[in-house]
Amino acid sequence: MNNGRYVLDASGQAVVEPDLLKWAEWFETAKRQLANDVLPDGVRISTVFLGLDHGWGGAPELWETMIFGGAHDQYQARYGTREEALAGHGRAVELAKS
């Protein structure tokens, strides 16, 4: 059963974690940041693994990119896979530079 809780396996891929306590212990100490860039003007672009499905009944959305500062402050995008998140992070960096 998929309860919406995920952890990252050794290769950085998301897998369902059915046990709430195991998930909570993992979440407490896990390195969840996938990418982080700070532009010369101080704008920060961060992509993290959420650990919880934010797809709300659709396809799982497990990673999130946000821009902090600048013209696109609070921009947000979510992704279903690690690969999509890395590509989306790159697009967000370019957006923040524009």
Q: Is the separation of the CB atoms in 72 and 95 below 8 Å?
A: yes
pLDDT in tens, 42-81: 999 999 999 999 988 788 999 999 999 999 999 999 999 9
Is the pLDDT at 2 greater than 80, yes or no?
Answer: no
Coil, helix or strand for 45?
Answer: strand
* d(C-alpha 67, C-alpha 47), whole Å: 9
Is the pLDDT at 1 greater than 60, yes or no?
Answer: no
* d(C-alpha 8, C-alpha 29), whole Å: 12
Report the length, in residues, of the chain. 98
pLDDT in tens, 10-51: 999 999 999 999 999 999 999 999 999 999 999 999 999 999
> What pLDDT is stored for residue 33 in this prediction?
96
* d(C-alpha 68, C-alpha 57), whole Å: 28
Q: For the chain, give the percent of residues with pLDDT over 70.
A: 99
